[in-house]
Chains A and B, each alone.
Chain A
C-alpha cells in the first residue's frame, strides 16, 4: 500500500467539519514545462452533485492529469458529506450550496493548499453546483487567481411538484400543442428578462450574482464553458438558451476578463469524450493566455466568445 504513486498523491486536510480527502496531481519533471515556469499556480476542482472528486465519468481525473502534465499542480478534494470526506451532505444540499454553504470550507481548504504546497495562488474549476461554490469563494480570497465555470447557473431551483414537472416535460416533448406552448412560454420569459433584467425573476440567485459581479469586476480572468443545447437546436428559441449567463456577462462590466464558450456536443455532466477533450483544451489555452507571463503580470483581455444572449436553463425547462 502506498499514499502516492508516480503522478498522484493522496492528501488529507483537517477542517472544522472533520477530515477532507483528496488527490493531488503533481507536475512531472519529465513534462513539457517545468513546474517552476508556472509560478506554482495550483488548480482546485470543485465538483457538482452528486459526483465524487473524480467527477462524472472520471472527467475531473482526466483534466487534473492533463493540467499536471502542463506544469500546474492540480487538486481534487471531496467536500464534507461527499466522496471519502467526513460526514453527510447538508440537509437540502443544493439549497445550501446555492446560498454559499461551502464557502468557508473552501476558503480554509485554499489556505491549507497554498501553505502546504507553497502555491502562489489557485484557480478554481467548478462544475455546476461546484461553480456556484467557486463564485462565492472567489470573491472572498486573494488566493484565487482565476475561475473556470463549467455549466454554472445563477438561479435557484423552483420549488415545484416533481411529478407535475415530469408530466409537463413529457407533454411538451410529445405533443405539438405542448411544444408550441413551451416556445411561447420561453418567449414571454425572455421578453421579461430583456425588459427587466434577471433580478425580475423570483428564482434569480441575487447573492450569487452579487458575488459574481464582485469577482468579475476585479479583473480576475474567468472562463465560462457551457454545454450547447441538444434539443431543437435549429429553432430560433435556442438563442434564449442561456439567459442567465448572458446577463452575468453584462453584469461583469467593462473591466472584466471573462471568456465564455459554448461547447457543442457536450452533455451537462461534461463526462462524454468530446466534452472532456474540449474542456481540457479550453482550460489549457485559457491558462496559457491568462497566466503565461507569470502570476504578477496582468492577464490579457479575452473576448467574450459566447452567444450574445442566452437563457436561464430554469426558464428553458418546459
Chain B
C-alpha cells in the first residue's frame, strides 16, 4: 500500500443523509480516486461528540489523503442526525452500524474503527461478521463504563459552577438513574432504560484468541493520560492536538493488514 500523500488527487468530502427506520443519519464520506480500502468510523457517545470531532475529522482526512476511503456519521438522535435522543438505545445504534455496513459495497476491504463507546459498537458488528479488520481506540469494557466515565467528568465540572445546595455528585445522579428517573447530561436526556441497558452492552472478546477465531485482524489502542488529551473532553480543548503518532501508527497497521498486494485480506493480528 502506498503511504505517500496523494496531493494531486484531493479527496472529496460529501455530506449526506442516510435513511434508517424513523430517522436519517448524517454521514460524511471522504471519497478518493482508486481507493485501497474503506474505513467506517464509529465515534464516541453523544456528549463526547463535539470534543472529539476535530481529531476525528482530521483522522478521516489523514486516511483519505492516503487512498483510504472513509465514511463517518452521527448516531441516530445525535448531532446532525435526526431522531429523538431519549428514544434511542444501544440496540438502535448497533442497528445503525449494521445498516451502514450493508450499504457499503463489498468491493473494498472494510475496516471498522470505533472510538470509546463506538469501539463497542464496532466490535459487536465485527463479531457478527461485518468488516475485514477491527481497530479500537480506547474501548470500555461495557457501555456502562463509558457512561460512568462521562457522568463523573460532567458531574465534577458541574460542581465547580453549581451552588453548594444544588451540587450533586456522580453517585447521586447514578442513584436517580437506578431509581428510574432520567437525568440530563450536557443537553442529552439519559433514561433509566438506557442506563440499565448499558450494563449488558459489553465489548466482545478482542484478544488474540478472538481475532484468530474471527480469522480477521484486530488492533486495540489504549490511551495513557497524556495521550488521551487529544480526544478527551475538557483537556486543553481550545488547542489543536498533536496526535499524529496515533494516526501514523494506526494507519501503518491498516496498511499492513489490508495490503492489496497480498491479494486478499491479511490475517495478521497485532
A interface residues, Cβ below 8 angstroms from B: 1-5, 8, 10, 12, 19, 21, 23, 49-54, 56-59, 61, 81-84, 88-89, 91, 93-94, 169, 173, 230-233, 267-269, 271-273, 276
Contact = CB atoms under 8 A, between A and B. Distances in A.
Contacts of A10: 15-17
B54 A89 contact: yes
Given A3-B15, A50-B50, A272 B238 contact: no
Nearest to A271: B187
Given A57-B187, A84-B57, A271-B187, A5 B24 contact: yes
B168 interface: no
Contacts of A267: 161
A230 B161 contact: yes
A52 B51 CA distance: 9
B13 A4 contact: no
Interface string B247-268: 0000000000000000000000
Contact of B17 (A4, A58, A269, A276): A4
B16 A2 contact: yes
28 contacts: A2-B16, A5-B17, A10-B15, A21-B15, A49-B237, A50-B51, A50-B53, A52-B79, A53-B80, A54-B79, A54-B80, A56-B50, A57-B186, A57-B188, A58-B85, A84-B15, A84-B57, A89-B240, A93-B240, A169-B160, A230-B163, A231-B161, A267-B161, A268-B161, A269-B187, A271-B186, A273-B184, A276-B187
A260 to B, nearest CB: 21
A89 B55 CA distance: 11
A52 B17 contact: no
Given A5-B82, A88-B58, A231-B161, A54 B50 contact: yes
Interface residues of B, number: 35
B201 interface: no
Contacts of A271: 186-187
Given A52-B50, A56-B187, 17 more contacts: A3-B16, A5-B24, A5-B82, A8-B17, A10-B16, A21-B13, A53-B80, A56-B186, A57-B188, A81-B54, A88-B58, A93-B238, A230-B163, A231-B161, A231-B162, A269-B186, A273-B189
A247 B132 CA distance: 61
A93 B54 CA distance: 13
Contact of A50 (B19, B80, B238): B238
Nearest to A83: B53
A111 B10 CA distance: 27
Nearest to A12: B15
Nearest to B72: A84
User: Which of A49, A50, A61, A273 has the largest count of B CB atoms less than 10 A from its CB?
Assistant: A50
Interface string B14-35: 0111110000100110000000
Contacts of B218: none
A232 B161 CA distance: 10
A3 B13 CA distance: 13
A268 B49 CA distance: 18
B28 A58 contact: no
A177 to B, nearest CB: 17
A273 B189 CA distance: 9
Contacts of B13: 19, 21, 84
B187 A2 contact: no
Nearest to B237: A50
Contacts of B189: 273
A307 to B, nearest CB: 18
User: Which of A52, A89, A273 has the largest count of B CB atoms less than 10 A from its CB?
Assistant: A52
Q: What are the 3 A-B residue pairs with the smallest beta carbon separation, nearest first? A: A57-B187, A271-B187, A1-B16
Contacts of A51: 50
B28 A84 contact: yes
User: Which of A1, A81, A83, A273 has the largest count of B CB atoms less than 10 A from its CB?
Assistant: A1
Contacts of A89: 54, 240
A232 B163 contact: yes
Contacts of A8: 17, 82
A271 B157 CA distance: 15
B68 interface: no
A216 to B, nearest CB: 28
Given A1-B18, A94-B238, A272 B184 contact: yes
Interface string B144-168: 0000000000000000111100100
A273 B258 CA distance: 46
Contacts of B78: 58
Contact of B187 (A49, A58, A83, A173): A58
Nearest to A19: B13
Nearest to B159: A173
Interface string B41-64: 000000101110110011000000
Nearest to A235: B163
B17 A1 contact: yes
Nearest to A49: B238
Nearest to B25: A1
Nearest to B103: A1
A4 B24 CA distance: 10
Nearest to B15: A10
A268 B17 CA distance: 31
User: Which of A59, A230, A233 has the largest count of B CB atoms less than 10 A from its CB?
Assistant: A230
Contacts of A169: 160
A267 B135 CA distance: 36
A213 B200 CA distance: 57
